[in-house]
Amino acid sequence: MKTLFLNFMIAATLIACTSPATQFDLAAAKKEIETANRALSDYMAKGDSVSLASAYSTDGALMLNNMPAVKGKENLITLWGSFINAGMGGLELTTIEVWGDENYITEEGLIVIKAKDGTQLDRGKYLVLWKKENGKWKLHRDISNSDLPVVTP
């Protein structure tokens, strides 16, 4: 009886050790990122630069055209606040594709930037590297560029 029980325990342990690991659910993560993007749009509509900056990871960066990367919560608050004060009032973010794992996801998307009165200011594309931080997806590297032609003086 002891031998049978011991064999059963060894077999159960081997089966448990060889069972496939839980697979990362990229589709569910994509939904979380789309929800986070809707929150970003809401923060912009409310003129909330603090919440916009808080959407970034602790070491996150916003990398836009014609300026150095902006890092650090206070610097992000200041930058987003300057956009809001200049009349930006809307962000439309459309996720095209995501790929990655349980720690980092890259998102490819389209962006439309609007003024407070709804007038389109810009449109383009973006890549965001999202980082899982304290159980939430945070913008870690955020880069975009315009589809509109360069305006020359």
5: pLDDT confidence band, cut at 50, 70 and 90?
low
- Give residue-wise pLDDT tens across range 7-54: 555 655 555 555 556 799 999 999 999 999 999 999 999 999 999 999
Each domain of the chain, given as residue ranges in start order, spans 25-146
Average pLDDT for residues 129-146, to the nearest whole number? Answer: 97
Phi, psi of 124, rounded to the nearest 5 degrees: -175, -155
What are the backbone angles phi and psi of residue 130, rounded to the nearest 5°? -95, 140
* Residue 54: count of CB within 10 angstroms of its CB: 14
pLDDT 10s digits, 9-20: 565 555 555 555
CB-based contacts of 14, cutoff 8 Å, min separation 6 = none
Q: Domain 25-146 has what CATH class? A: alpha beta
- Summarize pLDDT for 82-122 with one digit per residue, the tens: 999 999 999 999 999 999 999 999 999 999 999 999 999 99
pLDDT for residue 104:
98
* CA 79 distance to own-chain centroid: 18
User: Is 103:132 a contact under the CB 8 Å cutoff?
Assistant: yes
Q: What is the pLDDT of residue 152?
A: 85
Look at residue 16 in the predicted model and tell me its pLDDT.
53
Angstrom CA distances, 133 to 1, 54, 100, 139, stand at: 50, 12, 15, 10
